Copies of this chain bind each other. A is one copy, B any other.
Amino acid sequence: MTGPAGGTDLARFSLNQQTVRQWSLPELVAGCAAAGVRWVGLWREPVRAYGTEAAARLVRGAGLSVSSLCRGGFLTAEDAAGRAAALADNRAAVREAAALGTGTLVLVSGGLPPGSRDLRGARERIADALAELGPYAADHGVRLAVEPLHPMYAADRCVVSTLRQALDLAERFPAEQVGVVADSYHLWWDDALDGQLARAGAAGRIAACQLADWVTPLPEGVLLGRGQLGDGCVDLRAFLARTDAAGYRGPVEVEIFNPALWARDGAAVLTEVLDRYQRCVLGVPAVTDR
């Protein structure tokens, strides 16, 4: 019981744009403002389509702040041209994050190059890229947030698979340059999670916190199977409690990739997400329980 539903409970809530992909950027901003949401997590593609500066004005004008920009990364290319292109794209992402006023650029590090079986090499190329990008990001007031993705994505999306591994990587660089993302969907299964969250917090490395629930069966391709908060088996309240206990005080993004949510009215989805966030994450009893 952390108090009645309302303003204070939502102070840290952030709606990641992908949760309501059916909304245009203006719809997202208007919908969040109307619902009392203060934070949004944005994605590069819709922001660039709208115009980065215009998007920044739109968001600011509605009194919203950007919790993070998704996403840079994809740093595992083996060839010089691919590597140079990735670095250039990530520098652009840093500038976009700075323009949007967020200090957090989420990185999905990239999978194995086609035909490669060299996990160790791919991981070292990520470290090499962070060494180049970290100072550039810090100069722009942006921190690179390495996101460990669930191990089921190791082949094709991200060879950084656990919080421990992400921290081992991040700690090779200054904390103001490289942090990590704590996402419940990717990390919930790990028996080392509590200890690694504490480690991340103590080192000041938690750059972002994201929430989604784990539901089965997974869909083909396993990309769009994230669950609405409370629909799955993740103890989301414990997850946030441990992240907070580690010292994290930043926004809490709800990021759910789920076509069933995208097929519905955006405002109805946001209302449901807010209700689930209060009940399943904050532990506020439902209105009917009070």
Q: Which residues of A are interface residues toward B (Cβ below 8 A)?
A: 112, 116-119, 123, 150-152, 154-156, 159, 161-162, 164-165, 168, 188-192, 214, 216-222, 232-235
Give the complex CA separation of A65 and B230 in angstroms: 48
Known contacts A119-B235, A151-B151, A217-B220; 13 additional CB pairs below 8 A are A117-B235, A119-B189, A150-B152, A151-B152, A155-B189, A159-B189, A161-B189, A161-B191, A165-B191, A216-B221, A217-B221, A218-B220, A219-B220
Query: By the criterion CB–CB under 8 Å, are B190 and A151 in contact?
Result: yes
With a cutoff of 8 Å between Cβ atoms, the chain B residues found around residue A189 in the complex are 119, 151, 154-155, 159, 161
A45 to chain B, nearest CB (A): 21
Residue on B with the closest CB to A115? B233
Task: Return the contact of A123 from the options B150, B154, B156, B191 (Cβ within 8 A).
Answer: B191
A156 to chain B, nearest CB (A): 5
Give the complex CA separation of A235 and B222 in angstroms: 23
A72 to chain B, nearest CB (A): 21
A48 to chain B, nearest CB (A): 27
A75 to chain B, nearest CB (A): 16
Copy tally for this chain in the complex stands at 2
Residue on B with the closest CB to A235? B117
A244 to chain B, nearest CB (A): 18
Task: Return the contact of A118 from the options B159, B219, B235 (Cβ within 8 A).
Answer: B235
Residue on B with the closest CB to A220? B220
Give the complex CA separation of A150 and B153 in angstroms: 11
Of the A-B pairs whose beta carbons lie under 8 Å apart in the complex, a sample of 19, sorted by A's number, is A117-B233, A118-B235, A119-B191, A151-B189, A151-B190, A152-B152, A152-B218, A155-B214, A155-B232, A155-B233, A162-B190, A162-B191, A164-B192, A216-B221, A217-B220, A217-B222, A218-B220, A218-B222, A222-B222
Give the complex CA separation of A235 and B154 in angstroms: 14
With a cutoff of 8 Å between Cβ atoms, the chain B residues found around residue A155 in the complex are 189, 214, 216, 232-233
Query: By the criterion CB–CB under 8 Å, are A116 and B233 in contact?
Result: yes
Give the complex CA separation of A220 and B116 in angstroms: 25
